[in-house]
Amino acid sequence: MTDLQAQIDRLVAIEAITQLKARYFRLMDTKQWDEWAQVFATDCVMEIPEADMVNHGRDEIVRAVSTALTGTTTTHHGHMPEIEITGEGTARGIWAMFDYVEFPKDDGTTWGLKGYGHYHEEYRVEDGAWRIARTRLERLRVDPF
């Protein structure tokens, strides 16, 4: 029984982390920042090396990203998760990603980018739910437009 339960627990955790990352994308693209905050552990670290950006803690992440995306239209998609449960309430994962961000310019036109890469992440159960504890985006390419 124990072994069956352990196998189910692993599948349930992978499914929960997959839905966690789905909320990460959807709540960012629909700009629901209060709900978005809840996908992160309070001490989460977010790194985007090609943008030279590191944010420490849920509050700083939400402030930085919500500010950067003010006025933008964004689409973020994740693909092909590789999630590994590493311990009791801890996991790590890799996701392929696509992002499409369009920024308004003062003259009424827009500029933006379409990007491709991989998230390398860690997850942790905090306050009874899986949350993103660390995330680092490594790009394959960025196409400005």
Is 7 a binder of a second copy (CB under 8 A)?
A: yes
Category of 74 on φ-ψ map: left (φ > 0), alpha (ψ -120 to 50) or beta: beta
Residues 17-46 that bind a second copy (CB under 8 A): 18-19, 21-23, 25-26, 29-30
Q: How far is the CB of 59 from a second copy (least distance, A)?
A: 25
Closest to 122 measured CA to CA, from 110, 113, 131, 111 = 131
In the complex, the smallest distance separating the C-beta of residue 19 from a second copy, rounded to whole angstroms, is: 5
Instruction: State in angstroms the smallest separation of the CB of 56 from a second copy.
Output: 26
Size of the site for a second copy (CB under 8 A): 37
- Assigned token pair, 67: 């500010």
* Contact pattern for a second copy over residues 82 through 121, marking x by CB under 8 A: xx----------x-x-x-x-x-------------x-x---
Which of 74, 105, 104, 81 is closest to 22 using CA atoms?
81
Segment interacting with a second copy, rule: CB under 8 A, options 1-9, 47-55, 63-71, 122-130: 1-9
Residue 56 contacts a second copy per CB under 8 A: no
Retrieve residue 68's tokens. Answer: 């950067």
Which residue, among 4, 20, 1, 9, has the nearest Cα to 88 in the 3D structure?
9
Alpha helix (H) ranges present in 1-145? 2-29, 33-37, 58-68
Per CB under 8 A, the segment of 8-16, 35-43, 46-54, 60-68 that binds a second copy is 8-16
